[in-house]
Amino acid sequence: MIREGTLNIVILCLLVAVPAYAYVMNEPFTITLATRAVIFALAGVGLNLALGQGGLVSFGHAAYFGMGGYAMGILASHAQNYDPIFDGAFLIEGTNSMPVIWVVAVVSSALLALLIGALSLRTSGVYFIMVTLAFGQMFYYFAISWPAYGGEDGLSIYVRNQFPGLNTLDPIQFFGICFAILCLVLLFVDRLNKSPFGLALNGAHQNEERARTVGINVYKLRLVAFVISGAITGLAGALFADLNRFVSPTMFSWAISGEIMIFIILGGVARLFGPVVGAAVYILLEHFLGGLSDYWFIYLGAILLGMVLFAKGGIIGKLAKKETHHGG
């Protein structure tokens, strides 16, 4: 077994090496695949904060993924059509600036997570799973029945949004943006996990009553974690929409929630780089097994079953020993 820190560095290097090689070999499709993996990893890192650290099995994280996607779609489509979003007492216009879109995606997803979390965290266990799933599906059906933004057909954005000083239409540059965001978020989540907040969240996951008797407000703690988790997943949604230049109600569907959860289970629950490995392996399986058969999900199911039965720590857990955060 190797040290988890060393393994994480190897994973980051691989994540850079693959698109760099593809760039040299002039294979933009491979760069796009790597970008997809990075964006899915970001969504997984978001869910992993709630699920891995907090023990909150949310089956409705697609709601935040979709919210981020639609935040991008709505802002960009209005900018594209030179049509203000709101023209009344004051004017709200669309934008094709990525940083502005990210801020809107993060804030709207965080607010949605605050609303859903405030209600769903009053339940636990299977009820929590069902309530989060119900919220996710609610937004899925709402998006389907919202003709102003494409309804069931979704919304196309013809030109990728802009980032100052970069050509976002160049696959390698867009990958660079997504990878930089993933690294920043990983750094942030790592610091958070090592902070008293993260440790208390982990402690409350293990023993809620014990946490309360040391003065931890478990509900508030979980709500904050849930909101941060939703905001990160929302940011991933905005990037995913920009990658595809398309948003549709599918981004809200329970299948997306399930996929994000699969990344975490594959890579390793509560491991910082678990969702990164999980998302990369998932994309690889989707690409290679998907080329062999339309029923590639059967193979994926078998792999997942094997993981759950024989490798509870996921791929990271099989390769690296869990490290404690502090040496005192």
Among 25, 125, 147, 326, interactor with another protein by CB under 8 A: 326
Subset of residues 188 to 227 that bind another protein, contact rule: CB under 8 A: 196, 199-200, 202-203, 206-207, 209-218
State in angstroms the smallest separation of the CB of 53 from another protein.
10
Judged by CB under 8 A, does residue 167 bind another protein? no
User: Considering beta carbons, is residue 33 or 265 the nearer one to another protein?
Assistant: 265
Residue 285, interface with another protein (CB under 8 A)?
no
Is 16 a binder of another protein (CB under 8 A)?
no
Footprint on residues 231-270 left by another protein (CB under 8 A): none
- Give the binding-site size for another protein (rule: CB under 8 A): 22
Q: How far is the C-alpha of 283 from the C-alpha of 14, rounded, in Å?
A: 14
Span interacting with another protein, options 68-76, 181-189, 236-244, 320-328, rule CB under 8 A: 320-328
Given a contact cutoff of 8 angstroms between Cβ atoms, the answer to whether 156 and 84 are in contact is no
Question: 3-state DSSP call for residue 53?
Answer: helix
When binding is defined by CB under 8 A, the residue of 191, 312, 318, 325 that contacts another protein is: 325
Question: Does residue 1 belong to the site contacting another protein (CB under 8 A)?
Answer: no
Between residues 103 and 199, which has the closer beta carbon with respect to another protein?
199
Q: What is the CA radius of gyration of the chain?
A: 20
Cβ pair 134, 255 in contact under 8 A: no
CB of 49 or CB of 79, closer to another protein: 49
Q: Which of 195, 188, 189, 165 is nearest to 177 (CA)?
A: 165
Could you tell me if 154 and 77 are in contact, meaning their C-beta atoms sit under 8 angstroms apart? no
Q: Could you tell me the smallest distance in angstroms from the CB atom of residue 190 to another protein?
A: 14
- Residues 163, 140: Cα–Cα separation, whole Å: 29
Task: Give least dist CB 209 to another protein, A.
Answer: 6
Looking at the chain, list the stretches that DSSP marks H as alpha helix, in order from N- to C-terminal side. Answer: 4-24, 28-48, 62-80, 98-120, 125-144, 171-194, 196-206, 208-213, 218-244, 254-267, 274-292, 296-310, 314-319
Q: Please name the amino acid found at residue 142.
A: F
124 binds another protein (CB under 8 A): no
CA distances (Å), origin 45, targets 92, 122, 192:
32, 24, 12
Smallest distance from the beta carbon of 232 to another protein, in angstroms?
22
The pair of three-digit structure tokens given for residue 295, joined into one six-digit string? 């029923």
Cβ distance to another protein smaller for residue 31 or 201: 201
Residue ranges that bind another protein, judged by CB under 8 A: 196, 199-200, 202-203, 206-207, 209-218, 324-328
